[in-house]
Structure formats: structure tokens, C-alpha cells
Amino acid sequence: MNTFDVIIVGAGPAGSLLGYYLAKNKINVLIIDKQKLPRYKVCGGGLTRRALDIIPFNISEVIESYSHNLNITLYNSIVFEYTSTLPVIGMVMRDRFDYFLTKKATHQGAALRDETAFKSVTGKAGDLNIETSRGFLKAKILVGADGVFSKTAKALKLNISSKQMIGLEAEIYIPNANMLKTLMNITSFDFGVIPEGYGWIFPKKEHLSIGILSVSKKIKAMKQYFYNYLETKKLQNYAHIKSLKGWMIPYGPPKNIFYANEKGLLVGDAAGLSDPITGEGIFYAFKEADIASQIIADKLLFGKGGLSLYNGALKPLQKDLAYALKLHRLVYKIPRISHKLMKVHGNRLGKKYIDIITGKTTYCMMYKKIFSIQGIKTLFSNQRKNPSAS
């Protein structure tokens, strides 16, 4: 049995959730992954409420903890504190979470082959020959869910030219029970710990995922920044560090690109649409999986539309990320202003960010709101008059 309606390359959140939706629609789908599953993935494992709300089944068995208390700091001083009865972020470990999603897909009838790498595709739309490390397969549609360095995107000639930020993350164990108890209570986003980026502490069930990211191309000594961050948090003498690893996060929106043609389409990091401020990617992976599943189902089950409709269907996400990118420039490229804003308007800005990650507002609305604040307008017009001051 080597012939399928759809072959999805990559069993991360994007590929697995898409596999689930397609299999639920009785579409003959295969998910392949080059790694042996379950596999470790460098990631904070923070599922924002807007991401949690998309998942169409209960995931409580793979939730490590729920974050109700959140802090934003600037140079180690709190600029925003937030507490909520509803969880703001659900914390997962990506090996367990991703594999849980993959198994949800296989329980619906999707086929799965791990340790099977995608190599190339030939043939015409609707009749594709797919070469893998374990032989040839046939499919009507090929989906690239194979992450930031997507080989499928290149093979489909859907090269996504997104920018990339670098992240470094580790699993941190704290033997001091009192210290761990305090840290477990708060999810922390810390600015001023690395140029053009931030650090985070995400509490898991029995340990912390701690990481840093930067959008600067000039940063070389990521590990040094990481150790400095632990020092700022007074953890350097207590932390048992496991799996300290780096990876790239693509961020959008890319300009003038296509996410689909009649042979296939891209979802998740392969499509390059992560949040340009925070690096959050799983929400976008889930949104794309949802949208892609409807377009594929319309084509295969009802002969309606075509895969290229996916390009238009992603426009609203793309448009909102364009506003996020404007804010990204403010946050990371003009620190003189953004740090002043965090100090003066930390509470208002923090609340807006909570509204974004809980799905109550969009970056477009946040952008318009921020620039309606008179103090911010003035700061900006002064910056324009005297740009070298930043």
C-alpha cells in the first residue's frame, strides 16, 4: 500500500493536526517523519490560549501545567504583572505533545511512517511520485509540514523567503524545592537580557523550560547570553541544565510568496508564518492546518476549488502578521523608544499582549490602539525628527 490521497511530510503540530482533520474526513492520508517518534523538539512548549482553543479534542493528558500568573520584566524590573483564573498558556513537552497529536491522527485512520525522510517529488498535479529514504510512494497531494528548512517547499518550488530569528532553550531542573516552588508559579518574559530579543521561563510539571531568542543577525554568543540570563535570575548555582539546544524560527509575513500550487501546499514553520515578536509558531501551525484541511477536503471529496485557494485563504493571517512586523520593528529595532514605552505604559501594553494571545484582539487592532496613544505618537514623531538618537 504505497498510494495515498495526501502525503504529509513532518509529524510536528502542523502535520499531525492536518493529518487528524483529513483522516476524520475519511481521506487516505500518510504522515511521514524522518525522525524516530516521539522525538525531542527545541521549544518553550507554550500553547497560548488562542492555540489551545483551536485544538478539536481534549489534550489534558499531555499538559504539564497551566500558567495563570505572568510577568514581563525589563532589565529585571517588573513592568507588567498579570493573574487570571482562566489559564493564559498551557505548557507541554513537545516530544509527548506532538506524538499525542500524531496518535490522534492515526486513531482517525491516518497512516504513519517514521524514520522516513522526504527526498524529492516528480509527476504532475494529482499524480505525484514521491521519493523517500524508504522507497517511492504515490499521492495526489503533497503537504510540506517539515519545519523551517522545508525540503518539501523547495521540491514544490514554493520557496518561502521568510526572515529567521534564533532561539536557544534548555530544560532546567532545580533541586532546591523552595526555589522551584516559587519559580513554578510564574511564567516570565524578560526583556533586556539579550539584544533584540527576550528570555522566558516556562514552568513545566517538575522543571522549567528556559530560553532566549533574538532577531538580530549579529548575535554569535547565544550560550553566553543564556548563562548570563540564568545569572540575572540567580539560578546559575542551582540549575541542572539538560538539552541546551538552538534552532531557528521563521517569522512572517514573507513577501510575495505562494504557500500552495496545484501539487501541494505548506503548513506550520514550512510556511514561515510565526509571530515576529514572540516567535510563537504553534498557533499559526494549527490555523494553517485547519484552513488547509478544508481546502484539501473540498478538492478531494467534492471536486470543488483548488489548492491555490490556500494562498488567498492565508491572506488574513499574513495581513495581521504585517502589523505584528511593524510592532516588531518598534520593539526590537528602536529600543530607546520601546523600553521607554514598556516603563511608562507596561501595564497597558501587557494587557494588549494578553488580549492577543488569548485571541481577544489582533495585531492590527493592537497597532492602531498603540498609535492612538498621544504619548506614543509624540515619542515616534521625535524619533523621526532625530533617528540617530535611538
Ligand X SMILES: Cc1cc2nc3c(=O)[nH]c(=O)nc-3n(C[C@H](O)[C@H](O)[C@H](O)COP(=O)(O)OP(=O)(O)OC[C@H]3O[C@@H](n4cnc5c(N)ncnc54)[C@H](O)[C@@H]3O)c2cc1C
The four Cα atoms 14, 15, 16, 20 give a dihedral, to 10 degrees, of 100
Half-sphere exposure of 35 (CA within 13 A, CB side): 13
Does an H or E element contain 164, and which?
Answer: strand 163-173
158 binds ligand X (CB under 6 A): no
Q: Which stretch binds ligand X (CB under 6 A): 172-180, 267-275, 340-348, 364-372?
A: 267-275
Q: Which string of DSSP letters, residue by residue, matches 289-309?
A: HHHHHHHHHHHHHH--S-TTH
**Is the alpha carbon torsion for 156, 157, 162, 165 positive or negative?**
positive
Q: How far apart are CA 257 and CA 385, in angstroms?
A: 34
In the complex, minimum distance from the CB of residue 91 to ligand X, in angstroms, rounded to a whole number = 8
Residues 38-97 that bind ligand X (CB under 6 A): 39, 41-46
Is 162 a binder of ligand X (CB under 6 A)? no
Query: Site size for ligand X, by CB under 6 A?
Result: 39
Q: Contact between 118 and ligand X (CB under 6 A)?
A: yes
Q: Which stretch, 5-13, 74-82, 184-192, 257-265, contacts ligand X (CB under 6 A)? A: 5-13
The binding track of 220-259 with respect to ligand X, each residue x by CB under 6 A or -, is: ---------------------------x-x----------
Is 19 near ligand X (CB under 6 A)? no
When binding is defined by CB under 6 A, the residue of 55, 111, 117, 186 that contacts ligand X is: 117
> Does 320 sit near ligand X (CB under 6 A)?
no
Q: Which of residues 193-212 bind ligand X (CB under 6 A)?
A: 211
Based on CB atoms, which residue is closest to ligand X, 114 or 371? 114
The CA-CA-CA angle for residues 102, 278, 258, to 5°, reads: 65
Dist CA 292 CA 15 (whole Å): 11
| Torsion, CA 89, CA 95, CA 97, CA 101, rounded to 10 | 140
Q: What's the rounded Cα separation, in Å, for the pair 180 and 175?
A: 7
Residue 35 or 311 with smaller CB distance to ligand X: 35
Q: Interface with ligand X by CB under 6 A: which residues?
A: 9-15, 32-35, 39, 41-46, 117-118, 145-147, 151, 167, 169, 211, 247, 249, 268-270, 274, 279-283, 285
